[in-house]
Amino acid sequence: MGSVLKLYTSLEEKLGKETAKVITEAVEELTKEKKNELKMELKEELANELATKRDIYELKLEIEEITRKDIYELKVELEKVRKEIERTKAEMLKWFIGLFVSLVIFLVGWSWTLIKLVLQK
């Protein structure tokens, strides 16, 4: 307000009371309009930059969807690993039984040969 009063006083001396009043009122009105315009621009810029509750909710839904998809993919992958472990386990058991049977046959043959040798002497 001090600067408007100084303007009015300066204009009053040079242009008269009525003209000074009209000019200072016009300057005040233009200043208020510009101030309101700048406020609105700033408000719009802030609104564009800040996340709204809706933005946050949409982001939350997107993250939940990605998480669900990742969990599903992990479950599928885990099931594949379990099946592979079962196949490996069955394969190992098959080899173990085959080797065990071979060992038993070897031991029986070896024992039979020893018995034959002992009985021949």
How much of the chain, in percent, has pLDDT values that exceed 90?
57
For the chain, what is the mean pLDDT? 89
Q: Is the pLDDT of residue 5 over 80?
A: no
**According to the model, what pLDDT value does residue 25 have?**
84
> Other C-beta atoms within 10 Å of 24: how many?
19
Question: Which residues are CB-neighbours of 8 under 8 A, at least 6 positions away?
Answer: 20, 21, 24
Question: What pTM, to 2 d.p., does this model score?
Answer: 0.44
Q: How confident is the model at residue 114 (pLDDT cuts 50, 70, 90)?
A: very high
In angstroms, the CA 25 to CA 2 distance is: 14
Across residues 96-116, what is the average pLDDT? 95
